Amino acid sequence: MIVADAIKIRKKKKLAAEKGEELSKLEGGVTWYKTMHKLPIPPRIHFKQAQIHVSLWLPFIVGFATGWAAGILGIGGGLIRMPSLIYFVGCPTHVAVGTDLFEVMLSGLYGTFTYTWKGRTEIVGALIMLCGAAFGAQFGAVATKYYKGGAIRVLFGAAVFCCMLSIILKLFARVYDIVALDHASTVVILGGVTVLMCIIVYQAIKGMIKEVRMKKAAGLPK
């Protein structure tokens, strides 16, 4: 659905360009949020970064539903919350990513405290991963600067597809006791993540070089 949405946006941009117009950055392919914005349930609030007016109950329901899914199924976060922010609340992709990360940071505190209190947290391992995540998150935040919203959605959809395919292969491996499928599931997920990372790194470096050249040509500091 996310990939189909990105394709629709590209078609809209093409039609707008043919008419000599420019498509709004808030315009999407799947526009369910437009219907949601019409909900007449007070109070209505203004989201400055997303540039939208919505009923307060809309983000509350999205948070409740994704939190419920995370609590029962162990999923949520970017897998459900980010698309919900885009398609139901109407946040631009970059704002949805940042909002999701901020919400995860706060909502994860309770789970962190509970699991640590029960002795189910490997503190040393967590600290080591935190060091790596700190650098990774910084690079990821910079990389999104050089990606359009549609491109981020396509990459997100590709990542979810790789996860789905890997799980299907692993299930078939267990049901039919085929070891090769189990190995294939590992190759799919690791290979898919590696390819996506290479694409992101390439695009980020390409964008940085282009930005430096533009600043140099304009006589601006790098």
In angstroms, rounded to a whole number, what is the distance separating the alpha carbons of residues 100 and 140? 14
User: Does the residue 45 lie in any domain?
Assistant: no
Mean pLDDT, the chain, integer? 81
Domain that holds residue 160: 148-222
The pLDDT, as a whole number, for residue 5 is 79
User: Does the residue 155 lie in any domain?
Assistant: yes
Least trusted range by pLDDT, from 51-55, 96-100, 151-155, 191-195: 151-155
The pLDDT, as a whole number, for residue 161 is 87
How many of the other CB atoms lie within 10 Å of CB of 165?
Answer: 15
User: Does the residue 186 lie in any domain?
Assistant: yes
Total structural domains within the chain: 1
User: Does the residue 113 lie in any domain?
Assistant: no
Most trustworthy range by pLDDT among 154-158, 159-163, 213-217: 159-163
User: Does the residue 201 lie in any domain?
Assistant: yes
The pLDDT, as a whole number, for residue 27 is 62
In angstroms, rounded to a whole number, what is the distance separating the alpha carbons of residues 62 and 148? 24
User: Does the residue 121 lie in any domain?
Assistant: no
User: Does the residue 114 lie in any domain?
Assistant: no
pLDDT tens, position by position, 115-153? 788 887 888 888 888 888 777 777 777 777 777 767 777
pLDDT band at residue 75 using 50, 70 and 90 as cut-offs: low
In angstroms, rounded to a whole number, what is the distance separating the alpha carbons of residues 27 and 11? 12
User: Does the residue 87 lie in any domain?
Assistant: no
Mean pLDDT of 69-91: 77
The pLDDT, as a whole number, for residue 183 is 92
